[in-house]
Amino acid sequence: MRVARAQQTTLKVVWMGWPESQVLPLMAEFEKRNQTIKLAVERLPPEPRIITYLDAGLVYDFYLRRPVEELPGLPDLAARLAAPRPGDVILMREERWATLRAAHEARWQVLLADRVARVRMVLLGPRA
């Protein structure tokens, strides 16, 4: 006799400061309806500093409901990647991260990767 076993999948969720009263019931309902999917929630600080270099225009300020700090030059980006500060997250094109990953992946990890319009973007956070 064979016993069927359900496999469980973990879905990583990045929580960027939405009110708990709105988010917790949604997550509980999701897990109730999708019992083979476990949510692994990573909470970012309530007001993370979102940093970018050439990859996010002013429209991101609107959609993220907070200002995005645009670094003026590549040396500024390299300095921030070399010395992450608590609360910093960096938004950049996936192709740019691919060129920087080898030098900085010990300090930074991809929290989220997705397509925005026709561009693949990644949100990086400091490794714990």
Cα–Cα distance, 54 to 71 (Å, whole number): 8
User: Helix (H, G, I), strand (E, B), or coil: what is residue 70?
Assistant: strand
Q: Is residue 4 part of a domain?
A: no
Quote the CA–CA distance of 15 and 46 in Å, as a whole number: 9
- Looking at per-residue pLDDT, the higher value among 9 and 19 belongs to 9
- Is residue 85 located within the same domain as residue 22? no
- Position with higher pLDDT, 72 vs 57: 72
Q: Look at residue 3 and tell me if it is in a domain.
A: no
pLDDT tens across 76-93, in order? 888 989 988 878 889 889
Residues 20-40: what's their mean pLDDT?
86
Tally of CB atoms within 10 A around 65: 9
**Residue 99: per-residue pLDDT:** 92
Range of the domain at 20: 9-43
**Looking at the predicted structure, is the pLDDT value of residue 43 above 80?**
no
Report the C-alpha dihedral over residues 24, 30, 34, 39, rounded to 10 degrees: -50
Domain match, 54 and 33 both:
no
Single pTM value for the model: 0.62
- Do residue 80 and residue 106 come from a single domain? yes
How far apart are the C-alpha atoms of 76 and 70, rounded to whole Å? 10
Cβ partners under 8 Å of residue 14, min gap 6: 42, 44, 111, 112, 123
pLDDT at 110: 94
pLDDT of residue 70: 85
pLDDT at 66 over 80: no
Residues 20 and 59 both lie in one domain: no
User: Do the domain assignments include residue 101?
Assistant: yes
78 and 15 in a single domain? The answer is: no
